[in-house]
Amino acid sequence: MPIALIIAVAASLAVHAMLLFIPDIDLASFSEPPPLLAELKPPPAREAPVESAPKPGPAAVAAKSRATKRKARAPAPPAPTAVRRVPESPAVVLPDASPERAGEAASGASGRLAPDAPAAVAPIAATASRLPARGVIRYRVDRGDQGFMIGQSTHDWVVVDAAYRITSVTETNGLVALFKPFRIELESRGTMTAAGLLPEHFSTRRKGRATSEQAQFDWAQMLVQVGKRPAQALDPGAQDLLSFQYQLGLLADLATGSVLPVATGKKYEHYRLEVVGDEQLETPAGIFRSLHLRVPGESTTELWLAYDRSMLPVKILHTDHEGAVYVETATSIELSQEP
């Protein structure tokens, strides 16, 4: 048998053996190759040659030079007007506030604005306001201006038949109360007049007990007695340590600054009020456009009175003679609807 025939027979037998014994292959799992697509596109259009602009003649060059000189001689815009700041007034001392008297300091002082708060930018208009017949302001009391809370304070008042009563209760809370319990109560009683508050009696209580820090006002004789001191001459418009915070909003000429006589329970002095300006103040009780006042001196008191809250104090800051700062910031304000 020819060798070519033997090779052909052997190859045929090998192919049949593979078809009988190798496993089936599912060709359906393989997809057909994607068809080739051809797309005819027109050749890109040729861009027209850009013609260079003709050089300006001597007359155009001269005109451009004259315009440049006129622009250089144009006057510069006016410089922005600087905001005027009120200079500090002579030193005036308010009651001292040692750490043991943090509550008393808070009931007559409050906190500074955050660094990113807006500064005073608008002129101040004279504002007179009536004290609502009833109201309650609650404050948080911080030691320092970094938000370290040491207690709370509540001011409430009522005006009935031209007679008023204002009370303030300040006490420590939390861990501070555990290691340093403190509570002080202030009360001011008197008459509401067309000129504002006319205090008659001011008293202080510590831990529920009356103290000698009191003041008696005799308007008929124009005398005031502070503590156990002899009576002394009384000035028109004089206030006590608590009432003065609410009398400020009733003064028509407050925006110009003034001098206010105050009986603190320890002494009777005249205190100068500096007008710092209008400020946008953010507190837990809300955001208020307020009038910032300062009573500078060895001890300094600052107050922020809210224009849309009857010029009530929404923040008070007190820095004592040792540099300790106490901040009182309103957390809620409740006012009666009565005029």
**Structural domains of the chain, with CATH:** 99-112+132-335 (2.50.20)
Cα→Cα distances 202→84, 220, 251, 302, Å: 38, 17, 21, 22
What stretch of H or E contains 58?
helix 58-72
CB burial of residue 92 (10 Å; 0-12, 13-18, 19+): buried
State the residue for tokens 């820090």. 213
Rg (CA), the chain: 42
Of the candidates 205, 215, 199, the residue with the CA atom closest to the CA atom of residue 169? 205
Write the single-letter amino acid at 54.
Answer: P
Q: Helix or strand or coil: residue 2?
A: coil
177, with CB counted inside 10 A (0-12, 13-18, 19+), is middle
Contact between residue 167 and residue 187 where contact means Cβ atoms under 8 Å apart:
yes
296: which residues sit within 8 A by CB, 6+ positions away?
88, 89, 91, 92, 272, 274
Question: Whole-angstrom Cα distance, residue 53 to residue 89?
Answer: 71
Encoded amino acid at 31, one letter: S
The C-alpha atoms of residue 19 and residue 26 are separated, in whole angstroms, by 14
Check residue 336 and give its pLDDT.
87
Backbone φ, ψ for residue 233 (5° rounding): -60, 140
Block residue for tokens 């509401």: 192
pTM over 0.75, yes/no: no
174-181, Cβ contacts within 8 angstroms, sequence gap of 24 or more: 174/149, 174/150, 176/150, 176/151, 177/151, 180/99
Distances (CA, A) of 201 to 167, 186, 223, 315: 12, 11, 12, 25
Mean pLDDT in runs of 10 for the chain (339 residues)? 51 41 35 41 49 50 49 45 33 35 45 32 42 95 87 96 96 89 96 94 94 96 95 96 94 80 94 93 96 90 95 95 93 83
CA nearest 213: which of 263, 166, 270? 263
Cα–Cα distance measured from residue 280 to residue 292, given in angstroms and rounded to the nearest whole number: 10
Q: Distance between CA atoms of 132 and 160, rounded to whole angstroms?
A: 11
Beta bridge partners of 164: 159, 190
Residue owning tokens 């009573």: 295
Q: Are 329 and 318 in contact (CB under 8 A)?
A: no
**What is the pLDDT at residue 61?**
45
Yes or no: say if 152 and 106 are a contact pair by the CB < 8 Å rule: no
Report the alpha-carbon distance of residue 318 to residue 144 in Å, rounded: 10
Reading the block at residue 136, the tokens are 């309650």
